[in-house]
């Protein structure tokens, strides 16, 4: 059957949606948890691609991932150190313990909290004191 009605939860594009809200799919959490430390810029891009897909669950994701993102640039020598390993483990930990994001209800009571600096932008979309989504990004060179 192509349609199902009144099902308690749906797995959709790496997310689980149920009556409590939106969660990261447990299968994705398992693959993130098992991910070995990157050894090349390509492996960093692969990890950040998966983690970035779920960045709406992590407050300040871009700020956290900055040291890893720098290593993907062609002009930067790849030097995986303790700082990058700690960042890698922190992102894994935050994704594996990601909060349940609330589903929007109606059209009222939305609040957006924003923060901007010379390095990046961040925002939180909330409704009735429940987090709907986090958003952040680093500024590009020409935007600084």
- The pLDDT tens digits for 76-96 are 899 999 999 999 999 999 999
Low-confidence ranges of the chain (pLDDT < 50): none
- How much is the pLDDT for 143? 87
CA 3 to centroid of chain Cα atoms? 30
Virtual CA dihedral for 126, 128, 130, 135, nearest 10 degrees?
A: 0
Query: In the chain, what are the domain boundaries?
Result: 9-143
CB 22 within 8 A of CB 103: yes
pTM: 0.82
């Amino acid at each position: 059957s192509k349609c199902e009605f009144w099902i308690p939860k749906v797995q959709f594009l790496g997310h689980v949606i149920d009556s409590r809200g939106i969660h990261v799919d447990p299968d994705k959490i398992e693959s993130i948890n098992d991910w070995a430390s990157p050894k090349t810029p390509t492996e960093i891009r692969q990890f950040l691609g998966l983690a970035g897909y779920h960045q709406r669950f992590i407050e300040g994701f871009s700020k956290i991932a900055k040291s890893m993102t720098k290593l993907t640039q062609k002009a930067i020598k790849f030097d995986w150190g303790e700082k990058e390993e700690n960042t890698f483990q922190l992102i894994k930990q935050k994704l594996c313990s990601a909060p349940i994001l609330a589903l929007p209800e109606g059209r009222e009571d939305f609040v957006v909290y924003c923060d901007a600096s010379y390095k990046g932008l961040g925002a939180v979309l909330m409704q009735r004191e429940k987090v709907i989504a986090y958003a952040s990004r680093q500024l590009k060179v020409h935007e600084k």
